[in-house]
Amino acid sequence: MRTDYNRVAVAGYLTADSVWRKTRNGRSVTHFYLTTRHHKPTGDIETSSFQITAFGDLADRCAGLRVGQVVRVEGRLHEDRWMGPDDRRRSKVVIVATHMHLVRESTEANRGEGAIMSQQRPEDHPNVVACAAA
């Protein structure tokens, strides 16, 4: 029996436009940052930002995402590792997307405010566009 399990789902708003590029091998890659808000029982709000990376057809579909749009991303955690210019090991955890659901377009009201429809599933929203990795 396998005990490994690496799945994550996060919903939030884009804090910058997505960035699309092609690798040397011709594969599409899109990066974007998703910010979430957690309301603590004390009334404080904690924000967290996550780098999202999408590949292939999903990257092409995520390429048009813009600041303020609310999306739900499903994927897996991946640790990027590299050597820094000071020869020290560096790492960061990113979410490699396997699915993306556009929950809401950006408006002046939610641009940068992070208003998320927390009580509504993305599938229940009339403007949901579902995208999945091929």
In this prediction the pTM is: 0.74
Q: Is residue 3 part of a domain?
A: no
Q: Is residue 14 part of a domain?
A: yes
Q: How many domains does the chain have?
A: 1
Q: Is residue 62 part of a domain?
A: yes
The length of the chain, given as a count of residues: 134
Average pLDDT over residues 16-44: 95
Residue 53: give the domain boundaries: 8-132
- Domain of 93, CATH number, reads 2.40.50.140
Strands 129-132 and 89-104 come out as antiparallel
Q: Is residue 2 part of a domain?
A: no
Mean pLDDT of the chain: 83
pLDDT in tens, 88-131: 999 999 999 999 999 987 665 444 444 433 333 334 433 334 44
pLDDT at 130: 45
Q: Is residue 97 part of a domain?
A: yes
Average pLDDT over residues 39-68: 95
Q: Is residue 125 part of a domain?
A: yes
Interacting residues of 24 by C-beta distance below 8 A, sequence separation 6+: none
Q: Is residue 55 scored above 90 in pLDDT? A: yes
Residues in a beta bridge with 25: none
Q: Is residue 55 part of a domain?
A: yes
End-to-end CA distance of the chain: 27
Q: Is residue 77 scored above 80 in pLDDT? A: yes
Q: Is residue 1 part of a domain?
A: no
